[in-house]
Amino acid sequence: MGVSKLDRSEAEQRLAKLDDWEFSRDGDAIKREFKFDDFVAAWGFMSRVAILAEKQDHHPEWSNVYNTVEIELTTHDADGLSERDFTLAGDIDALR
């Protein structure tokens, strides 16, 4: 089932409900940086995010440098932001 792309104002409404996420890719994605005490803590967080992503069939584009994890979310099937991005972002924040 396709996922529909949100328009800018719909995306802004949803972004306003999240802390510390910002638009990226000219509004086609959202991103946030997470800092941890050390690499093992960062890796544990990434493991938990991976399980969420699998459950939601919605996967992040992300990077890890030692204790820092950068996560960017976009919906490839919609060529932009969809509800799935904001749902996953909210669930990721709830892991903290």
Q: Which residues bind ligand H2B (CB under 6 A)?
A: 57-59, 74-77
Q: Cβ of 56: how many Cβ atoms within 10 Å? A: 12
Task: Output the furthest CA–CA distance in the chain (Å, rounded).
Answer: 40
Q: Cβ of 82: how many Cβ atoms within 10 Å? A: 22
Closest CA to 80 of 33, 10, 32: 10
In the complex, least distance from residue 40 CB atom to ligand H2B, rounded to whole angstroms: 26
Position of tokens 């919605």?
A: 58
Closer of 41 and 93 to ligand H2B (Cβ): 93
In the complex, least distance from residue 56 CB atom to ligand H2B, rounded to whole angstroms: 8
In the complex, least distance from residue 73 CB atom to ligand H2B, rounded to whole angstroms: 6
Closer of 10 and 67 to ligand H2B (Cβ): 10
Closer of 35 and 76 to ligand H2B (Cβ): 76
